Amino acid sequence: MKSNKIYIFLAMLVATLTTTACFDDQGVDTFYNGNQVEFNAANLPNGLTQSFVRLNPTQTDMLNVQINRVSTSGTGAITVNIEADPTSTAVEGVHYRLDSKSITIGSGEFVSTLPITVLTGNIDPSETPDLLLNITSATGAEVSSNYGSLKVAIRVICPSDLAGTYSVFWEELQLGDGSGGADQTATDFVIASDNTMSFAVAGTGLYNMDDMSFGMYPGLYGDSKPTGSIRDNCDVLTGAASNADRFGDPFTISGVVNDDGTITIIWSNTWGDGGTVVLTKV
């Protein structure tokens, strides 16, 4: 624990009362007997996000959007018709190509996919094109009223290769006072007992950090290393909004990859800890 934090844990005894209830036997089992089609990812709060690494200006990639048959019976083929919503910020022929606007879910099958060609080479990483898809009709089935539309966020990033172990040099270091301010500070500092940290690949341009305090917690507080994640978008680094230590203190992390391959990161938490570190791959 941090030496100057006070944590009070309240032990609570929760009594669980298990009860049973009898219900009248209706004598009839109720089954869904409809036949609907839906986008598989339409139940996600932000739709479907797909990231692609841009390697050259003529690059294309394939994105497959899953469409489901919701039915207790797979009898009969279903033809599903899809259109791009006019409110889409993704432009056909610029950001994507939709070579077919209908798919077939075969008899006895419950899943099919709509292929979308992503024109990756045309998309600048600063762009955020969103493709809104609507199932307009289906032959042999109804369109789901809740899951018949889907937002597909098409994102393009630069190549990223940050995985590895880094030495940590503190240009500025601040130990917090518990209320967001400084208790102690130092400059041009190395925490001798904990002077390395690592990035591990967690996804396209996404990395897990084994110590997002960069040695401060284990080396100066004697505490466990707080883990977190960070995203690289064309050498601009952004920590995940969910990053927090085991006490629940949120971490704000940002940084850049420098021309010489070193990484400069500025970070802080609500306790007041933080600083500027320079990471060099070892």
pLDDT in tens, 40-78: 999 999 999 999 999 999 999 999 999 999 998 888 999
140 within a domain of the structure (yes/no): yes
Please give the Cα distance from 227 to 195 (Å, whole number): 16
Q: Are residues 78 and 175 in the same domain?
A: no
Structure tokens given for 129: 């094109």
Quickly tell me which residue has 């791009």 as its tokens.
Answer: 84
pLDDT in tens, 248-272: 999 999 999 999 999 999 999 999 9
Please give the Cα distance from 103 to 82 (Å, whole number): 8
- Residue 108 · residue 114 · CB < 8 Å: no
Q: Are residues 180 and 95 in the same domain?
A: no
- Residue 64 · residue 115 · CB < 8 Å: yes
Q: Are residues 186 and 254 in the same domain?
A: yes
Q: How far is CA 14 from CA 7, 10, 11, 17, 182, in A?
A: 21, 12, 10, 10, 40
Structure tokens given for 213: 């305090």
Domain final residue, candidates 125, 157, 189: 157
Q: Are residues 266 and 172 in the same domain?
A: yes
Q: Are residues 39 and 127 in the same domain?
A: yes
- Residue 152 · residue 116 · CB < 8 Å: yes
pLDDT in tens, 104-143: 999 999 999 999 999 999 999 899 999 999 999 999 999 9
Q: What is the dihedral of CA 81, 85, 89, 92, to 10 degrees?
A: 40
